């Protein structure tokens, strides 16, 4: 009797009801207020810390990006739904036809809602955790133009000193996990608030790579399988900081500025090639925060080797980027970040300078 009643209740849940329920749940999850402290404790350091190793260990089994498989499956499913919808419309009595497009739209919205809920569980709720400035000894009094200029000058000096040993270092193949960089990440993890032991994703090339090149995207973390997708045109001096940035996302640092900060600290713990990559990134971020006169003064300190690397990066971007596509992509990403409660949107990338200045940098070996 109980089984029969349960079966009856299940049968009452028609596809339309399931789709409507998913849409309702996703809408509630998107707009409902949440406690950052609770997210930090129960999700980022709880569920996610346990789920991430399993997801990344699974995706690390293959060189193929699991996100590519998911995108292809969704595209195929959309084609099938469209074909079935057209066929159903042709077979249906004339009076029933007006409602069929609405049913198709409901299916698509239901699928989108389901994907959003999965996104929140597998990675997305990290956007709502406590910011690093509340989890690290951050001192706003350390934020000043003088400190920014001093750190920019230091970055130029570090680049000059590291240029030759960095370029003499042997580098791993492009899409092979760099064990020395991984060791540096684990050694630095406590400095940027990661107390768990995340499994680090192997860098992968994606079917999205043509878009990455044209839009100027250096890398991306797949939020469903927590894997790192890296653009194929990155120069060797760029790869360590980009990979460390994506690993920081994989460890639960969703904010772009925080991931940049963690990637920088990771590189500083690594080999000369890793350190050089980190300081090259820091030089760009810090000089962009300076006034024109200070920027020129710091640039004058830079040696010909690092200057040549910066010019090579600029040439790579000039050669591949489509300005319109890049601008459109950043607008979309800005909207995505704001939809996930990152108030600064794409401007959150500049948060890295505040963290560089406001958090005392530990001594590195």
Query: What is the per-residue pLDDT across 31-49, written as a single tens digit (0 to 9) for each?
Result: 988 899 999 999 999 999 9
Residue 120's pLDDT band (boundaries 50, 70, 90)?
very high
* Same domain assignment for residues 66 and 138: no
Sheet holding 203-204, edge to edge: 203-204, 227-230, 219-222
Q: What is residue 18's predicted lDDT score, i.e. its pLDDT? A: 84
CA distance 224 to 245: 17
* Same domain assignment for residues 65 and 116: yes
Residue 158 lies in a domain: yes
Q: What is residue 9's predicted lDDT score, i.e. its pLDDT? A: 47
Residue 364 lies in a domain: no
* Same domain assignment for residues 140 and 279: yes
| Percent of the chain with pLDDT strictly greater than 70 | 85
Specify the number of domains making up the chain. Answer: 2
CA distance 241 to 262: 9
Q: What is residue 6's predicted lDDT score, i.e. its pLDDT? A: 44
* Same domain assignment for residues 251 and 273: yes
Q: What is residue 363's predicted lDDT score, i.e. its pLDDT? A: 67
Residue 323 lies in a domain: yes
Which of 66, 99, 128 is the C-terminal boundary of a domain?
128
Which of 61, 96, 128 is the C-terminal boundary of a domain?
128
* Same domain assignment for residues 148 and 83: no
The enclosing H or E element of 228 equals strand 227-230
DSSP secondary structure code for residue 270 in this structure: S
Q: What is residue 10's predicted lDDT score, i.e. its pLDDT? A: 42
For residue 50, is pLDDT > 90?
A: yes
Mean pLDDT, residues 138-144: 89
- Residue 24 in tokens: 């309702």
Q: What is residue 60's predicted lDDT score, i.e. its pLDDT? A: 97
pLDDT digits (tens, 9 = 90+) for 175-232: 999 999 999 999 999 889 898 899 999 999 999 999 999 999 999 999 999 999 999 9
CA distance 361 to 365: 12
CA distance 340 to 119: 11
Residue with the bigger pLDDT between 95 and 154: it is 154
Q: What is residue 180's predicted lDDT score, i.e. its pLDDT? A: 96
Helix ranges restricted to H, 92-144: 100-122, 132-135
Q: What is residue 349's predicted lDDT score, i.e. its pLDDT? A: 44
| Percent of the chain with pLDDT strictly greater than 90 | 65
Helix ranges restricted to H, the chain: 2-12, 15-31, 36-38, 48-59, 66-91, 100-122, 132-135, 145-168, 179-188, 209-215, 239-250, 256-268, 272-288, 292-300, 304-320, 323-339, 351-358
Residue 365 lies in a domain: no
Q: What is residue 131's predicted lDDT score, i.e. its pLDDT? A: 93
Which of 128, 148, 167 is the C-terminal boundary of a domain?
128
Q: What is residue 207's predicted lDDT score, i.e. its pLDDT? A: 96
CA-angle at 42, arms to 37 and 45, nearest 5°: 90
Residue 363 lies in a domain: no
Mean pLDDT, residues 252-270: 96
Q: What is residue 15's predicted lDDT score, i.e. its pLDDT? A: 74
Residue 23 lies in a domain: yes
Does the pTM exceed 0.95?
no
Length of the chain: 365
88-to-83, 93, 100, 111 alpha-carbon distances in Å: 9, 10, 8, 20
* Same domain assignment for residues 31 and 108: yes
* Same domain assignment for residues 141 and 71: no
* Same domain assignment for residues 85 and 231: no
For residue 116, is pLDDT > 70?
A: yes
For residue 243, is pLDDT > 60?
A: yes
* Same domain assignment for residues 195 and 312: yes
CA distance 74 to 108: 10
Residue 147 lies in a domain: yes
143-to-90, 155, 177, 296 alpha-carbon distances in Å: 67, 17, 36, 21
For residue 86, is pLDDT > 80?
A: no
61-to-55, 182, 216, 249, 296 alpha-carbon distances in Å: 10, 17, 28, 20, 48
Q: What is residue 88's predicted lDDT score, i.e. its pLDDT? A: 63
For residue 329, is pLDDT > 70?
A: no
* Same domain assignment for residues 109 and 58: yes
Mean pLDDT, residues 284-298: 92
* DSSP helix/strand/coil, 146: helix
Reference 157, options 283, 288, 263, 260; nearest CA is 283
Domain span at residue 326 reads: 133-358
Reference 52, options 192, 191, 225, 255; nearest CA is 225
* Same domain assignment for residues 281 and 295: yes
For residue 101, is pLDDT > 70?
A: no
* Same domain assignment for residues 224 and 124: no
Residue 140 lies in a domain: yes
Residue 345's pLDDT band (boundaries 50, 70, 90)?
very low
């Amino acid at each position: 009797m109980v089984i029969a009643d349960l079966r009856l209740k299940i049968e009452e849940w028609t596809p339309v009801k399931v789709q409507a329920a998913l849409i309702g749940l996703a809408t509630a999850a998107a707009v409902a207020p949440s406690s950052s402290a609770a997210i930090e404790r129960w999700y980022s350091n709880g569920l996610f810390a346990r789920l991430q190793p399993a997801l990344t260990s699974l995706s690390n089994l293959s060189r193929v990006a699991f996100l590519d498989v998911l995108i292809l499956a969704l595209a195929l499913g959309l084609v099938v739904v469209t074909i079935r919808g057209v066929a159903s419309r042709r077979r249906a009595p004339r009076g029933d036809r007006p409602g069929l497009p609405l049913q198709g739209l409901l299916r698509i919205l239901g699928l989108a809602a389901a994907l959003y809920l999965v996104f929140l569980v597998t990675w997305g709720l990290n956007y709502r955790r406590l910011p690093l400035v509340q989890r690290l000894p951050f001192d706003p009094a350390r934020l000043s133009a003088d400190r920014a200029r001093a750190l920019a000058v230091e970055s130029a000096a570090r680049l000059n000193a590291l240029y030759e040993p960095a370029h003499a270092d042997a580098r791993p193949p492009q899409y092979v996990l760099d064990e020395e960089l991984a060791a540096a990440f684990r050694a630095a993890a406590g400095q940027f608030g990661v107390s768990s032991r995340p499994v680090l994703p192997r860098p992968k090339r994606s079917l999205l790579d043509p878009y990455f090149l044209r839009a100027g995207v250096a890398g991306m973390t797949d939020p469903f399988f927590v894997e790192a997708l890296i653009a194929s045109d990155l120069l060797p001096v760029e790869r360590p900081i980009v990979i460390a940035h994506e690993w920081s996302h994989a460890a639960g640092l969703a904010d772009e500025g925080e991931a940049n900060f963690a990637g920088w600290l990771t590189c500083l713990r690594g080999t000369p090639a890793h350190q050089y990559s980190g300081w090259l990134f820091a030089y760009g971020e810090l000089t962009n925060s300076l006034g024109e006169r200070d920027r020129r003064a710091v640039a004058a300190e830079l040696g010909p080797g690092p200057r040549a690397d910066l010019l090579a990066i600029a040439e790579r971007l000039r050669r591949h980027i489509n300005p319109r596509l890049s601008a459109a992509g950043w607008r979309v990403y800005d909207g995505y970040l704001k939809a996930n409660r990152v108030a600064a949107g794409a401007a959150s990338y500049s948060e890295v300078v505040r963290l560089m200045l406001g958090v005392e940098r530990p001594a590195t070996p």
